[in-house]
A and B are shown apart, each in its own frame.
Chain A
Amino acid sequence: MDVFLGIDVGSVTTKCAVLDDKDNLLFSLYTRTRGQPITMVQHGLKQVTEHLPPGARVAGVGTTGSARYLAGVIAGADVVKNEITAHAVAALHYVPGVQTIMEIGGQDSKIIIIRDGVVVDFGMNTVCAAGTGSFLDQQASRLALAIEDFGPRALESQTPVRIAGRCTVFAESDMIHKQQMGHRVEDILYGLCEALVRNYLNNIALGKEILPPVVFQGGVAFNKGIVRAFEESLKTKVEVPPHHEVMGAIGAALLAKEDTQRRSASSQFKGFEVADVNYKTSSFECKSCANVCEIAQIFVGSKVVARWGGRCDMWERTSAAAK
C-alpha cells in the first residue's frame, strides 16, 4: 500500500501525519519541537515506522512549517510548501465548502480567505506574538495550570474581566493587576481568551470578510475558551475539524500525493534510516561582501548536506554542487 507522509515543523511543535492512498489518516503525531527541529523530525520518523501497517511504502513526502526546508533536507521531501497553502489544502479536504480558516499556532497566527475552493487572500501576524499559543502557555504555567485545563476552566467563567490584549507585556501586567484585585482565575482566563480573539480580529483579520463556514485549526483550537470567545465575537458557529492540530502536516501529505501523482515520479524519501543518522549543524559569517550573512550548514559526518541563510545564493549553490 502506498502512503504519504507530511511533516510540519513549527516553532513550538512538530507534527507528522501519514495518509493512505484514499486520504485516510493512518497515524498522526504531535510533539514539542523543544528547539531541536532535526532531532524531532528523526523522532517523528521513528514513531511513524513503528505505527505503519505492514507492507506500507512511502510514496511521497511533504514538509511545511517554519523549519520546512530543514525538515525537507532530512527526510528527502518531494514538496516543501509554506504553511498557508498546506493549511488551506487540508481544511478544504475536511470541510469542502469552507470560506474562512483561522489558524493559531505556537508563535504565529493566520487567516486564510477561501472562495469557491480557492485561496483568495490571507494574512499572517507580522511583528508580535501577542495572541498565540506560546503566550497562553506561559500564562497557564504562571497560574500553575496545565495548558490542557486552560479551556475547560475558562468556560466556567460567569463574569469575565476585560484584559488588555494589544501586547503580551500589557496583557500580563493587566492580568496580574486583576488577580491581585481578587478576581477569580476562570474570569481572568476567559477575559484573556476574549482579549486574544479581539487582538486577532483587529490585526490579522482586519479588513478581511469572515464568512461561514469558519474553520478554526492549529494547536490553540484545543482551547474551548478561545473557541467560545470566537463564536461570541463573530456571532457564527466556529468549526474545529478533527485532527485540527496536525492540519499542516495533513496538508503537506496531500500536497506530496498531488505532486508525485502529477509528475508520476518516485519519491525523494530518504528512508526511515535517517532517523539514526547523526546530523551536525554549525554556522559561520560569510566574509565575501559587506553584508556578512550568517550561513547555517548541516553535516552528515564531514559532508555538507545543506547550507542557507545568505542574501545571495552563493552558498546554496556550492552545497547543491557538492551533493
Chain B
Amino acid sequence: MKAGFPHMGDVWLPMVAILRGVGVEPVVPPPYSKKTLSLGVRYSPEGVCIPFKLTLGSMIEALDLGADVIIMAAGPGLCRFGYYAKIQERVLQEQGYKFDMVTTELFEGKFIGVSRFIKRLSGGASMATVYSAVRLGLKKIGALDDIERAVHKVRPLEAVQGTATKIFDEARHALDEASNARSVDLVKADFFRRLDAVERNPSADPLKVGVIGEFYVVLEPFSNMDVEIELGKLGVEVHRTTFVSEWTKFSLFLSMLGMTEKGKLHKAAMPYLKRDVGGDGWETVGEVAYHAGHYDGLVHLAPFTCMPEIVAKNIIPSMKEQIPLLTIICDEQMGRAGMLTRLEAFVDLLRRRRDAQRKAGALAHAAAR
C-alpha cells in the first residue's frame, strides 16, 4: 500500500513520520505549483474555495506518483471543507483513478480516534507501534513550529534578506531525516543556534502583525502568496496562533479546562459572536478582540467565497476593539502585484501610525515631567 495525501503547509512532515512508523509507504506529492493549481481548477466547480482546488490538484499529483490510498481530513462540524473528501473522491473516480479514500476526523481532535484510524490504515501494527509513531510525528511538527516562530522573529531583523527563510527550509529537511525523539531535539537546538547567529540589521525596528483567518490559507503559503515572507521583507514580525501543532493539541485535556489558545479566542469573541459559525469564523472574531491591544495590525486571510470568514469580516468593523486590519481574499485569480501593493501600503500605514503614537507618547511624557 502506498498512501498519499494533499499538502497543507507542513502537515506532510508528521504524516510521513507516522506512516513510516507504522510501516506504510508514504507518497508525498510535489510542493504546490501552478501545475497543481491548474490540475485542481480543471476538475473543480468554479465557485468552490481555493483549499478544494489545491487539495484536489495535490491528490492528482500523489495518484500520478503511484499512491493507491489518499488520506484526507473530513467530518461534520466544519465548514463545507467537511464534505470535500467525498466530492473529491467522486471527481477523481470519474477521471478513472482507482484508489481508496481514507478520511480522518483529525479536526475533531480525538486523539484516540486518530490512533485507531492509523492502526486500521497500517493493517495490524500494534497499538504501541502506532502510539510511538504518532508521538514522533507530533514531536517533529512541534519542533518545526517552534523553529518557525523563531524564523518569524528573525526575518524582519536579518541583514541579508532571505537568510532565515533558507534556514527554515533546511530545518524541514533535517527534521524529516530525524529518526527518533532525541535527534529531533538535537536538530531543534541546532537550528535555534543557527537562527540566533543570523547577522542582524542594527537599524531594524520591526512592527508586530498578527496573521489570522481561515486555517488552510493561513497554513499554506502557496495559497496566500507567501504573505508571511513578504511581511518579513517589509520589516514585520509575524505572529500567528494557527499552527499545525496547535490544532493537534486541541484534543488534549487542556481544552476541557479552557486553557488552549482556541478556548481563549472563543471567550474573547463572546461579546460579538456566541457560537461556532463553521470553519474559523469564531476564532477570527476572537483573534481581533484578543490581539487588538498587543499588535500594530492584523492581516486577515480568507478564501474567496468562504462563508465563515465573510461572517467574521462583517462583525469586525462594529467591534469596540479597534486595530488596523487588512483582509486578503485568497483565490487563484488573485494577482501578486495587487497583493504586494496592498501589503506595502498597509505596512506604511502601520509604521506612520506607530511613529505618530510614539511622538504623542513622548510629548505626553515631556508634559508630565
Selected interface stretch from B15-23, B63-71, B266-274, B348-356 = B348-356
Report A's interface with B, CB cutoff 8 A.
Answer: 66, 81-85, 116-122, 124, 126-127, 207, 289-292, 311, 313, 317
Q: Are A119 and B341 in contact (CB under 8 A)?
A: no
The dominant DSSP class at the A interface is: loop
Q: Are B348 and A119 in contact (CB under 8 A)?
A: yes
The dominant DSSP class at the B interface is: helix
A120 to B349, CA, bound (A): 7
Residue B344 CB within 8 A of the other chain: yes
Q: Are A66 and B162 in contact (CB under 8 A)?
A: no
Q: Which residue of B lies closest to A311 (CB)?
A: B226
Question: Which of B33, B324, B352, B353 has a CB less than 8 Å from the CB of A291?
Answer: B33
Residue B149 CB within 8 A of the other chain: no
Q: Are A117 and B356 in contact (CB under 8 A)?
A: yes
Q: Are A124 and B349 in contact (CB under 8 A)?
A: no
Q: How many residues of B contact A (CB 8 A)?
A: 27
Q: Are A120 and B348 in contact (CB under 8 A)?
A: no
Chain B hits for A117, CB < 8 A: 356
Given contacts A118-B353, A126-B329, contact A291 B34 (CB under 8 A): yes
Residue B317 CB within 8 A of the other chain: yes
A117 to B359, CA, bound (A): 13
A126 to B161, CA, bound (A): 29
A101 to B170, CA, bound (A): 46
Q: Are B353 and A124 in contact (CB under 8 A)?
A: no
Q: Which residue of A lies closest to B340 (CB)?
A: A82
Given contacts A85-B348, A127-B333, contact A290 B35 (CB under 8 A): yes
Q: Which residue of B lies closest to A317 (CB)?
A: B162
A101 to B109, CA, bound (A): 48
Question: Which of A118, A121, A289, A290 has a CB less than 8 Å from the CB of B352?
Answer: A118
Q: Which residue of B lies closest to A113 (CB)?
A: B349
| Binary interface encoding of chain B residues 332-344 relative to chain A, with 1 for a CB under 8 A from any of its CBs, else 0 | 0100111001101
Report B's interface with A, CB cutoff 8 A.
Answer: 30-31, 33-36, 161-162, 225-226, 317, 324, 329, 333, 336-338, 341-342, 344-346, 348-349, 352-353, 356
Please give the distance in Å from A169's CB to the nearest CB on chain B. Answer: 17
Chain B hits for A126, CB < 8 A: 329, 338
A124 to B161, CA, bound (A): 29
Question: Which of B324, B345, B352 has a CB less than 8 Å from the CB of A82?
Answer: B345
Question: Which of B31, B336, B352 has a CB less than 8 Å from the CB of A119?
Answer: B352
Q: Are A313 and B162 in contact (CB under 8 A)?
A: yes
Q: Are B317 and A290 in contact (CB under 8 A)?
A: no
Chain B hits for A116, CB < 8 A: 356
Q: Which residue of A lies closest to B337 (CB)?
A: A66
Please give the distance in Å from B30's CB to the nearest CB on chain A. Answer: 6
Question: Which of B36, B348, B353 has a CB less than 8 Å from the CB of A81?
Answer: B348
Please give the distance in Å from B1's CB to the nearest CB on chain A. Answer: 26
Known interface pairs A66-B337, A118-B353; 13 further A-B residue pairs with C-beta atoms within 8 A, sorted by A's residue number: A82-B344, A82-B345, A82-B348, A83-B341, A84-B341, A119-B349, A119-B352, A119-B353, A122-B345, A292-B33, A292-B34, A311-B336, A317-B162
Please give the distance in Å from B172's CB to the nearest CB on chain A. Answer: 16
Chain B hits for A119, CB < 8 A: 348-349, 352-353
Q: Which residue of B lies closest to A119 (CB)?
A: B349
Q: Are A290 and B349 in contact (CB under 8 A)?
A: no
Please give the distance in Å from B237's CB to the nearest CB on chain A. Answer: 20
